[in-house]
Structure 1
Amino acid sequence: MSTIFQELETYKNFDELARDVLDLAKEILPNQLIYISSISDTQQVILKISNETTSIVATEGIMLNLNDSICRGIDFEKKQPLIYEKILEESSLADLKNGLEKANIKSYLGIPISFVNGDKFGTLCAVNDEEHHFDDKSINLLQRIVRMFSYYLDLERVAYKDSLTNLYNRRYLSKFFEDQQETEGWIFFLDLDGFKKVNDVHGHDAGDMVLEEVALRLQTFANAHPNALAFRLGGDEFVIHFSHASDIKKMSRLAEQVLENLTIWDANYQLSTSIGIAMYPGDYAITLKTLLKNADYALNLAKASGKNTYKFFEL
């Protein structure tokens, strides 16, 4: 399951509001099959689809390789609609022609959906089994609906995001952990060595810049590992959660990668990182509070052994 779908599970009233968006869109384009999708860098998932029967083959929950989807051409930076009124005549979609014919799609309108900060969410799309002209008034109305939907998405997201670093916060970690308890996993509890001195000597603005850079490096690391999520608990405390079972050797290698990523700093900043690591099995219940306590104990061992290292919690 990708990050955005895990995130959506925490949103209140998403299904209801998504259905309202589809109903409003159908009022504007009554003869179209309309759907809301979510898009990552490599995949697209159809989240909600208008429920009337059509000759177009599409179902909720279907996951597509983004390169095999019409929505690959959506420009999220310019936030402009993508329009194909005679889709089978589009030379840029020649590699998709067989799939489009099987799905019986002959026209397409895709409107990008983004969070307020510019992060992409997905699309609101209208497809038809006939060629169709999309007039400017209809497109403008759909864009306004998407804008309102984006505000809702952003309000939901703010509740689970750290305002400074844009990493997930403790509240989201708690919700996420509740959903992961039947599987094994690992927690890396990170604390910056020397961060107080940065604040004391260079000021809190410099401290905030350091925290934002740490978050960026941790997010980059998490993006490279499909089972990892990065969180900021508060202050200079961060967590990386791994949703899978693995041996200590592999987790040690990952910890070494994290330490290496957080070693290089401006010469004025005497910074390093210590990590406490705790594992939880899937065969018995453990609270997040206890797991963090275990990881924090290991973290203190890492600091006591000279900092800039990691230690495992052992019963």
Structure 2
Amino acid sequence: MQISINEMQYYKNFDEIARDILAMAKESLPDRLIYLTSFARKKQMILKLSEPNPSIHIHEGMVIDINDTVCNQIDFDNNAPLIYEDMSRETKLDDLRQALIGANINSYLGVPIILSNGEAFGTLCAVHTHANTITAKSTNTIQTIAKMFSYYLDLERLAYRDSLTGLYNRQFLYKYFEEKFGTGGALFFLDLDGFKNINDSYGHEAGDFILREVALRLEGFVQRHNGVAVRLGGDEFVINLIDHLSKEEWGKHAEYLLSQLSSWDIPLEGFQLSVSIGIALYAPSDGNPLKVVLKQADNALYSAKAMGKNTYQFNPDL
């Protein structure tokens, strides 16, 4: 589950660390423009540049389809750098020729930034307007700097991610909600029905598998909507969605989640695994802290459980 811009904004000293990383890389390749990128949802974002360079037409915050970038050709599986000393002579780059001419780039070094869980974060790149030799020493130095940056990202990620599922944790939810609640939306409180019996009967390994699978399905859902998925603990999850929908439309989201979390391709003989959902809606003008909205969603969840489970209910106060 890729690190998002939402997450990075809460990392301690991210801007300062990124600038230091670029400055160290610049010492090794002083005549190049150095930049840092991240990947998310088949897009590449230019996060930071070593300095403004009017000759090279890329800028901080630029978002590009990953298939339209040279970085897409990096071998992330083997953590290998990608080097083009004279891109004008590379026939394999013909599909990107116009983009390279537009950016005015003809020499490229791209080094993958990979987290400890194997996830590709992005790249550390060095480019020039003209063909240039890139030495093995410079390449090794940039690789070392990229590895140092990945260690920093891993440490920060631990503060905001659940170690088992990779979803965001409670700490992240509080920071995210504090910033986003003013836009209005809905908080879905989910609790798995029958999970304890399955966990007791099949063991924690099976239980952990189910929790990870739930996380994948929830993450897939929020990637198609404006929100985040969180594991509060145990078999309790939260989805916070930022949108202005009718109660009926929110209900359709809940029905979709019910269907997604009641069908399993694993043998659960004698057990039924489903989910109950409590929904709390909040308007931009409410101003309620997260603990209030969570309590409202928890009350709704209690009502859903009381109705026989595998269903959803809105906050009874609505």
Match of 1:301 in 2: 303
8 Å CA contact retained: 2:38, 2:123 = yes
Worse-matched range after superposition: 18-27 or 38-47: 38-47
- The alpha-carbon deviation at position 206 of structure 1 amounts to 2.7
* 1:284 partner SS: coil
* 1:270 partner SS: coil
Deviations 1:40-84 (A, max 9, x none): 242111111011545212221112222222222122222111111
Worse-matched range after superposition: 2-11 or 225-234: 2-11
- The alpha-carbon deviation at position 118 of structure 1 amounts to 1.1
Alignment of 1:107-146 (within 5 A): 107-146=107-146
Match of 1:214 in 2: 214
Worse-matched range after superposition: 138-147 or 241-250: 241-250
Deviations 1:224-249 (A, max 9, x none): x1313211001110011111111122
d(CA) in 2 for partners of 1:208, 1:95? 44
Match of 2:156 in 1: 156
Match of 1:257 in 2: 256
Deviations 1:79-103 (A, max 9, x none): 1111111112222222322232232
Match of 2:63 in 1: 63
d(CA) in 2 for partners of 1:277, 1:216? 21
Deviations 1:158-187 (A, max 9, x none): 110111111110001111111102201111
Distance 1:221 1:90, change over 3 A: same
- The alpha-carbon deviation at position 18 of structure 1 amounts to 0.7
8 Å CA contact retained: 1:33, 1:54 = no
- Using the size of structure 1 for normalisation, the TM-score is 0.95
Match of 1:82 in 2: 82
Match of 2:236 in 1: 237
How many residues end up aligned between the 2 structures? 313
Distance 1:39 1:117, change over 3 A: same
Match of 1:280 in 2: 282
Which amino acid in structure 2 is aligned with residue 190 of structure 1? L
Asked if residue 29 in structure 1 is aligned to residue 17 in structure 2, the reply is: no
Which amino acid in structure 2 is aligned with residue 294 of structure 1? Q
d(CA) in 2 for partners of 1:216, 1:250? 23
Deviations 1:218-269 (A, max 9, x none): 222223x131321100111001111111112222121111111111232334
8 Å CA contact retained: 2:3, 2:121 = no
- Using the size of structure 2 for normalisation, the TM-score is 0.94
d(CA) in 2 for partners of 1:65, 1:214? 29
Worse-matched range after superposition: 73-82 or 284-293: 73-82
d(CA) in 2 for partners of 1:250, 1:3? 29
8 Å CA contact retained: 1:23, 1:50 = yes
Alignment of 1:33-48 (within 5 A): 33-48=33-48
- The alpha-carbon deviation at position 7 of structure 1 amounts to 0.7
Match of 1:267 in 2: 268
Which amino acid in structure 2 is aligned with residue 252 of structure 1? G
8 Å CA contact retained: 1:108, 1:126 = yes
- The alpha-carbon deviation at position 199 of structure 1 amounts to 2.8
- The alpha-carbon deviation at position 142 of structure 1 amounts to 0.9
Which amino acid in structure 2 is aligned with residue 209 of structure 1? F
8 Å CA contact retained: 1:44, 1:64 = yes
User: Quick one: percent identity of the two aligned structures?
Assistant: 51
- The alpha-carbon deviation at position 198 of structure 1 amounts to 1.9
d(CA) in 1 for partners of 2:191, 2:201? 19
* 1:181 partner SS: helix
- The alpha-carbon deviation at position 120 of structure 1 amounts to 1.4
d(CA) in 2 for partners of 1:92, 1:98? 13
- The alpha-carbon deviation at position 125 of structure 1 amounts to 0.5
Match of 2:247 in 1: 248
Which amino acid in structure 1 is aligned with residue 292 of structure 2? T
- The alpha-carbon deviation at position 209 of structure 1 amounts to 2.3
Match of 1:7 in 2: 7
8 Å CA contact retained: 1:87, 1:131 = yes
Worse-matched range after superposition: 62-71 or 10-19: 62-71
d(CA) in 1 for partners of 2:255, 2:239? 13
